[in-house]
Amino acid sequence: MKSPLLLFITLVLVLAGSCPCPAAARDGKPNVIVIYADDLGWGDLGCYGSPTISTPHLNRMAAQGMRFTDFYSAAEVCTPSRAALLTGRYPVRNGMCHETYRVLRRNSKGGLPKSEVTLASVLKQQGYRTGCVGKWHLGHLKEHLPPNHGFEEYFGMPFSNDMMPAPDAPKGREKMFFEDTSLWRTPLIRGLDVIEEKPDQRQLTKRYTEESLKFIEKNKDQPFFLYLAHTFPHVPLFASEAFKDRSRAGLYGDVVEEIDWSVGQILDGLVRLGIDNNTLVVFSSDNGPWTLFDSHGGSAGPLREGKGSTWEGGMRVPGIFWWPSRIASGITRHETASTMDVFTTVTKLAGATPPQDRVIDGRDIAPLLFGSDRSPSDDPFFYYRGPDLYAVRIGLWKAHFITRSSYGPDKPAPHDPPLLFHLGEDPGERWDRAAKYPEVIERMRQAVAKHRANLVPAASQLIETE
């Protein structure tokens, strides 16, 4: 007969081995995964009405979670958008809209200022393991790379996949359409070091997915934050053999369908590891579709224009939140929310306090995600192009003080009174209602004045010459 001590030890070991409660060790802190597509349009997913691109996994993510119809990136192009996501601040505050080109180009020397606090830094301080996979584009010199902004691990490209054409690549716009990966040499980096000078871009989505799954599996027993920023569907487009010539939407559809597959792999991996109920997954895009590239650019659906513009198509993007144990399934939200809100909401979920020494623009949208708060938000959302405020939205009204087409030769056109659109009856921004609603315009002006009064643009750490 076993001694009571032996029985006790056996019981403890059995219980320890069978306990499905990693949450106990994590002190209530959820894992967080942000999946960020590049130049994916509002209308490019099945669950957002695409008639041709098949996205069963993102559709499932939305059906099991929450889909926002009025979700915004805080900028109309890559770099400031990413800075806003990771700092919870309008780019005008974190310095990434001023002289953005100093970061955007391959010979730039600038980067996200060291004084900025990223979501990765906040979560790392809370005991999270932090990893970044994919496109960075917040400065590619070593001192600006993810490991110097709170990420313990990094695997990916330092900037856009079109930024380093091979010396023998054709010049001009046409090269963007060539399906030859050898024309490009944007490198792959691990940690702080280049590991491949000329990676095969057809394999990127698959490799990013494998890296992400490895990171998740390795850290499954403790809280982790994974930022998976896909290189695609930014042009030039590349899909792996398994996805090539599969979509009715051509190569653009192939590329988006491979990203959709990747999302499915991540969600299935979380379920397989038994951590789906401890994990918040967010899916979004850094800006609207690059319509300049015809069929190789995406679609903003019914929204006007695309990337590079403060019309809705430039900044309204897909926004899907998934967390099986906390977010009720199949909910569609029409309240205005933004990528900056991810910063504040996740910071609080992790038990931290957002930085108090600076203005944080992101709001805590936990009441929207987890509760029954369906009241329309009256908080204004501001549309910037570079350092200039172009438009503001409050509720369903949007006023444009300046307009300019995405990539056309036209100069910025100021409007006084501003153009006024009702995004409920007119999501395509076609019918100016300014003459009929002066009181709405007055409200917009007051919101802008209040916003400007507390606007202290970041001291520029970007005063560097190229």
CA nearest neighbour of 417 among 396, 448, 395? 448
- Stretch near Mg ion under the rule CB under 5 A, chosen from 28-36, 116-124, 285-293, 340-348: 285-293
4: number of Cβ within 10 Å: 8
Q: Which is nearer to Mg ion, 288 or 418 (CB)?
A: 288
Confirm if 402 and 382 have CB atoms less than 8 A apart: no
Nearest to 40 by CA among 62, 71, 61, 63: 71
Pick the closer one to Mg ion by CB: 287 or 345: 287
Q: What is the spatial distance between Cα 416 and Cα 450, in angstroms, rounded to a whole number?
A: 18
Site for Mg ion in 120-149 (CB under 5 A): none
Place of tokens 């944080």: 360
Nearer to Mg ion, 152 or 286 (CB): 286
CA distance 122 to 251: 39
Residue owning tokens 């030039």? 236
Q: Which of residues 209-238 bind Mg ion (CB under 5 A)?
A: none
- Count of C-beta atoms within a 10 Å radius of residue 1: 5
Q: Which two tokens stand for residue 97?
A: 């809209």
Asked if 78 touches Mg ion (CB under 5 A), the answer is yes
Closer to Mg ion by CB, 186 or 219: give it. Answer: 186
Q: Which is nearer to Mg ion, 162 or 210 (CB)?
A: 162
Interior angle at CA 72, CA 66 and CA 74, nearest 5 = 140
The helix (run of H) or strand (run of E) holding residue 228 is strand 224-229
Q: Burial code of 390-400, b = ≥16 C-beta within 10 A, e = fewer?
A: bbbbbbbbbbb
Mask 176-195, x = binds Mg ion (CB under 5 A)? --------------------
* Residue 287 lies near Mg ion (rule: CB under 5 A): yes
**Rounded to the nearest whole angstrom, what is the least distance from the CB of residue 286 to Mg ion in the complex?**
4
Return the range that interacts with Mg ion (CB under 5 A); candidates 10-18, 256-264, 287-295, 395-403: 287-295
CB nearer to Mg ion: pick between 33 and 78 = 78
Residue 233: cis peptide before it, omega within 30 degrees of 0: yes
One character per residue 233-272, x = contact with Mg ion (rule: CB under 5 A): ----------------------------------------
Minimal distance, residue 126 CB to Mg ion, in Å: 29
Neighbouring residues of 408: CB distance < 8 A, sequence distance ≥ 6: none
* Tokens coding 366: 């936990």
Q: Is 39 or 312 the residue whose CB approaches Mg ion more closely?
A: 39
User: Closest separation between CB of residue 212 and Mg ion, Å?
Assistant: 19
Tokens, residue 200? 């095969």
**457-to-91, 103, 342, 381 alpha-carbon distances in Å:** 9, 17, 21, 17
CA–CA distance, 262 with 277 (Å, rounded to integer):
19
- Nearer to Mg ion by Cβ, of 315 and 399: the residue is 315
| Span from 106-114, 242-250, 279-287, 380-388 in contact with Mg ion (CB under 5 A) | 279-287
What does the angle CA 55 – CA 56 – CA 62 come to, to the nearest 5 degrees? 95
Helix or strand (DSSP H, E) at 333: strand 331-333
Using CB positions, name the residue nearest to Mg ion. 78
Residues labelled catalytic: 78, 137
Q: Judged by CB under 5 A, which of 260, 276, 286, 305 binds Mg ion?
A: 286
Shortest Å, Cβ 330 to Mg ion: 29
> Can you tell me the distance from the alpha carbon of 223 to that of 275, in angstroms, rounded to the nearest whole number?
10
Binding mask 8-47 for Mg ion (x = CB under 5 A): ------------------------------xx--------
The residue (of 78 and 447) whose beta carbon lies closer to Mg ion is: 78
Q: Which two tokens stand for residue 121?
A: 């830094």
| Helix or strand (DSSP H, E) at 35 | strand 31-37
- Asked if residue 76 binds Mg ion (CB under 5 A), the reply is no
Q: Among the candidate windows 41-49, 75-83, 165-173, 190-198, which touches Mg ion by CB under 5 A?
A: 75-83
3-class SS at 281? Answer: strand
Q: How far is the CB of 157 from Mg ion (least distance, A)?
A: 13
Omega cis (within 30) before 80: no
Q: By rule CB under 5 A, what count of residues binds Mg ion?
A: 5
CB of 257 to Mg ion, least distance (A): 19
Region from 73-81, 182-190, 196-204, 332-340 binding Mg ion, contact rule CB under 5 A? 73-81
Q: How far is the CB of 290 from Mg ion (least distance, A)?
A: 8
CB of 40 to Mg ion, least distance (A): 8
From the list 45-53, 76-84, 407-415, 422-430, the region that binds Mg ion by CB under 5 A is 76-84
Shortest Å, Cβ 205 to Mg ion: 16
**Site residues, Mg ion (CB under 5 A):** 38-39, 78, 286-287
